[in-house]
């Protein structure tokens, strides 16, 4: 018996009764955005694309480096050597896995300027980020435009995840307040192991699949915490939204309204500072590459250029944003940018 190639591809998933043929068709029509193509994002994007979600947007500001390969499952040594943008490399790998899915890579930093345009036209947003600043931005867009999103975080051997549905569950601000404050563990301070990442990402995806296929009665509706090293798994039911929540009750979208951009951001897990100037350079990447060839070795591809200055390296993107590698000093990073790129 010759099966339809599309039917054969998803046959095992369709046999799973809660999804079935009707659910598979809903997945084909669904649109999902993955914010952050690091450890969580690569696992989530792989599962979503292979499951047959019709449109997947991959958003990431970073490039691939050797330290990523321990847990970021879509990338290889060649990607790290070339310094490929994560979103672009991921899209290329995933398109080979499923040519039926439309995959849109976006190499950018998610900010108040672009969050609504990038996230408001999808059915679900998947959180693969490593900081609460961006998560609060996702939460604002979610509540404002009534879009579900899957929160997730993993460091060391533990992680936390939750699936938020505006009007049905509390929002992130209800759970953590307007400002979660500092002092959180990060992969830069306590490391992270891949099994914790995979577990959290898989829980995020399964909630998204339930939602997208119309199985909302199966959603966890809880904050889930796990520790794969110490064999712990806890689930805390959401309860009701905070009646005084400034976001989902009073509809104050603080992260969207802030209208300021951080000039520098320290990147998790390595000596790298992101610099985003208020006024991007007017020169093209080609023109800047020609200038930088006088001071260091330059490599360029359609998405970015890289210049090795010896003690530090510059990765410059077409929008003027740069990663300054080799320092944790924000003042030095700004100085390097000003000296070699101009600001």
DSSP label at 108?
Answer: S
Catalytic residue among 187, 245, 248, 307: 187
DSSP label at 66?
Answer: G
Question: CB neighbours (10 Å) of residue 148?
Answer: 21
Distance of alpha carbon 217 from alpha carbon 341, whole angstroms: 54
Long-range pairs, 73-76, Cβ under 8 A, ≥24: 73/42, 73/43, 73/46, 73/194, 74/37, 74/42, 74/45, 74/46, 75/42
CA 28 to chain centre: 22
Based on the residue annotation, tell me whether 187 is a catalytic residue of this protein: yes
296, two tokens:
């260091």
The helix-helix angle for 20-29 and 194-212 (nearest 10°) equals: 100
327, two tokens:
């320092």
Q: Report the DSSP beta bridge partners of residue 324.
A: 273, 314
Burial class (CB in 10 A: 0-12, 13-18, 19+), 13: middle
Q: Report the DSSP beta bridge partners of residue 163.
A: 150
Which residues neighbour 186 within 8 Å (Cβ) at sequence distance 6 or greater? 130, 155, 268, 269
306, two tokens:
């890289």
Question: CB neighbours (10 Å) of residue 168?
Answer: 13
Q: How far apart are the first and last CA of the chain?
A: 65
Select from 221, 122, 125, 232 the least CA-distant residue to 167: 221
Alpha-carbon separation of residue 54 from 49, 104, 105, 150 (angstroms): 8, 11, 14, 18
Active site residues: 187
């Amino acid at each position: 018996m010759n099966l339809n190639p599309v039917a054969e591809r998803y046959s095992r998933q369709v046999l799973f009764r809660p999804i079935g043929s009707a659910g598979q068709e809903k997945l084909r029509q669904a649109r999902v955005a993955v914010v952050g193509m690091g450890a969580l994002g690569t696992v989530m994007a792989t599962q979503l694309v292979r499951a047959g979600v019709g449109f997947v947007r991959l958003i990431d500001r970073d490039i691939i480096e050797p330290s990523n390969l321990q847990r970021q499952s879509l990338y290889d040594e060649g990607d790290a050597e070339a310094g490929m943008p994560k979103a672009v490399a991921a899209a290329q790998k995933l398109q080979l896995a499923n040519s039926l899915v439309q995959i849109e890579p976006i190499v950018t930093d998610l900010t108040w300027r672009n969050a609504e345009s990038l996230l408001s036209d999808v059915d679900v947003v998947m959180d693969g980020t490593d900081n609460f600043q961006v998560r609060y931005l996702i939460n604002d867009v979610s509540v404002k435009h009534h879009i579900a999103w899957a929160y997730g975080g993993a460091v060391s051997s533990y992680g936390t995840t939750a699936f938020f549905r505006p009007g049905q569950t509390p929002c992130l601000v209800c759970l953590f307040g307007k400002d979660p404050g500092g002092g959180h563990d990060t992969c830069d301070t306590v490391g992270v192991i891949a099994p914790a990442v995979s577990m959290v990402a898989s829980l995020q995806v399964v909630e998204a699949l339930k939602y997208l296929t119309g199985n909302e009665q199966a959603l966890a509706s809880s904050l889930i915490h796990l520790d794969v090293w110490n064999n712990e798994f806890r689930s805390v039911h959401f309860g009701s939204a905070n009646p005084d929540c400034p976001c989902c009750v009073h509809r104050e979208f603080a992260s969207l309204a802030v209208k300021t951009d951080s000039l520098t951001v320290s990147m998790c897990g390595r000596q790298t500072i992101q610099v985003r100037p208020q006024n991007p350079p007017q020169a093209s990447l080609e023109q800047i590459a020609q200038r930088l060839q006088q001071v260091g070795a330059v490599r360029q591809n359609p998405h970015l250029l890289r210049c090795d200055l010896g003690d530090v390296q510059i990765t410059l993107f077409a929008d003027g944003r740069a990663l300054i590698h080799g320092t944790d000093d924000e003042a030095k990073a700004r100085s390097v940018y000003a000296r070699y790129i101009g600001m």
